[in-house]
Every structure is written in structure tokens, then in C-alpha cells.
Chains A and B, each alone.
Chain A
Amino acid sequence: AQKITQTQPGMFVQEKEAVTLDCTYDTSDQSYGLFWYKQPSSGEMIFLIYQGSYDQQNATEGRYSLNFQKARKSANLVISASQLGDSAMYFCAMREGFNQFYFGTGTSLTVIP
């Protein structure tokens, strides 16, 4: 079974609108971490946001927020007020144990002016 599933290979959003990128995960661990990374065309992986499995509140970082629904095992990324510079690939990832990281297949986001 896939550890991380991103079902949206490509998404489009109008500039200044909000967009939600979906991510579901599969683990039997009680302690785990969920991450979102942005990868622009330059290739570097940019850390966006982190949610710990024990965190009670949804993580937020500026325009990024993580909609964490533990029972559903989902960790969707919400980007508010999209900007042209947000166009990139977005990867959801999970840390299991101490050093096991798993990545989803990614979602390509295009922001339309």
C-alpha cells in the first residue's frame, strides 16, 4: 500500500484564490510527522509546513495551512491568496519512526493570472 497518496497530478487556481492540495497517508504508528514541500522548476525542495501527529491544532505558516484530519488520515495543504510564484510541484511527505521518510507523487500547481 502507498504510504502517501496525492490524487491530484495537476491543479489550476486563479491568482488570489485559495487552493487545497490533497494528501492522505497510511501508517499504524502513533507518532509520525507530516510535511509539505514545494519544488519549483529550479529543482530545490523548499520546506513549507509541518504537522506532528500529536499536535492538536492545524499547522499554519503564513499563507500555508495544513488541514489535519487524523481519523481520516488526511493532511491537505491549503494555500490562501495564490500568487504566480506559487506555481510549482508540491510534495506531501511523512516521517515514520526516526528516519523513515515517504513522499507522495506530487501535485503540479499552476496559478493563472
Chain B
Amino acid sequence: GAVVSQHPSRVICKSGTSVKIECRSLDFQATTMFWYRQFPKKSLMLMATSNEGSKATYEQGVEKDKFLINHASLTLSTLTVTSAHPEDSSFYICSANLAGESYNEQFFGPGTRLTVL
């Protein structure tokens, strides 16, 4: 299947700093990427849908100014957690949509574990 990478895999930062997470589709172009947040032993919570060349669509309750999403190219989307606080500590997963005439699949990155001290 298609490969999606995420960088970094783990990050520990101090409260008040900003953290950027990259999501790349390595062997395909993705017009749409998704950002999820997952708490321990919980399901994935969709944060936003990122479309190449346009503004991201955020889910209800997700702060746009807190979680900045940029989809600058067909292979790269970034999530920046601005002024991070301990409650932002979580597992962040991106996915990329690969769609054709007869299929529409979502491929996930390996995730980024963010710890804010």
C-alpha cells in the first residue's frame, strides 16, 4: 500500500513553545490529508481536513489558532501546535487520501507522540 510518513515520531517540549509536525505522502500525491488526535486507549478524533492549496476545514471544538494546518504541496501537510500546554500532550496521527476510479482509501502515518512539560 501507499506510504505516509510523519516527523517527528516523538517530541517533548516546554510549555509555551510551538511544535511543528510534518506529514508526507511518499509515493503518491494526496490532495486531502487528515489530522487526528488520539488519547490513550481512545479512538481517533478528527481534528481537521487539510486540502492542498486551500484552508483547512476544522472540526467543531478544534481551535484554528491553536492548531495551524498548512498543506503547501500534494505530498506535505504540517500541523503546528502553537503555544503548547500540557493538555495538548497527545498522540497525533495524520492520514492521506488515495482515491481513484474504483477505490478510495486512507493511509495513516505512524503518529507523533507529543509531550508538553
A residues apposed to B, CB below 8 Å: 33, 35, 37, 42-45, 47, 50, 89, 91, 93, 95, 98-99, 101, 103-106, 108
Contact = CB atoms under 8 A, between A and B. Distances in A.
Nearest to A43: B111
A75 B110 CA distance: 25
A105 B44 CA distance: 8
Contact of A44 (B97, B99, B111): B111
Contacts, number: 49
Nearest to A37: B108
A97 to B, nearest CB: 10
B93 A33 contact: no
What does DSSP make chain A's interface, helix, strand, loop or mixed? strand
19 contacts: A43-B38, A43-B91, A43-B113, A45-B108, A45-B111, A47-B1, A47-B105, A47-B107, A50-B105, A98-B99, A99-B32, A99-B49, A101-B34, A101-B46, A101-B95, A101-B106, A105-B42, A106-B42, A106-B43
Interface residues of B, number: 24
Secondary structure dominating the interface of B? strand
B60 to A, nearest CB: 14
B43 A99 contact: no
B54 interface: no
A42 B105 CA distance: 22
A37 B14 CA distance: 33
Contacts of B41: 89, 106, 108
A113 B101 CA distance: 44
Nearest to A33: B104
Nearest to A44: B110
Contact of A98 (B38, B104, B105): B104
Nearest to B31: A99
Contacts of A108: 41
Interface string B74-117: 00000000000000000101010101000011111111010000
